[in-house]
Amino acid sequence: MAYKITFRKGKRVSATKLWPCDLEAAIAHARAQLPLQRDQSGATSVSVTCERTGDVVFTCTEQPESLGV
């Protein structure tokens, strides 16, 4: 099974990657790469989609860091 990992900045796609592995590995990779993609392209969320069915099987959105007042 293959999964597509999509990084987004707001509603715009900032990067995609095809992950030909199991779901757990795809999710672990997506979570690990989100901070790196945020630094490189400003990505704020990631989703993992099953290539066969098109179903979104995982999403993660970073919460903006709160500003201390």
Residue 1 is predicted with a pLDDT of 85
Beta partners for residue 60, in sequence order: 46
- Residue ranges per domain, the chain? 3-61
Residue 64 is predicted with a pLDDT of 63
From first to last of its 69 residues, what are the pLDDT tens digits of the chain?
A: 899 999 999 889 999 999 888 999 999 999 999 999 999 999 999 999 999 999 999 999 987 664 444
SS3 of residue 42 by DSSP: coil
Residue 62 is predicted with a pLDDT of 81
* pTM as predicted: 0.84
Residue 55 is predicted with a pLDDT of 96
Burial class from Cβ neighbours inside 10 Å (0-12, 13-18, 19+) for residue 33 reads middle
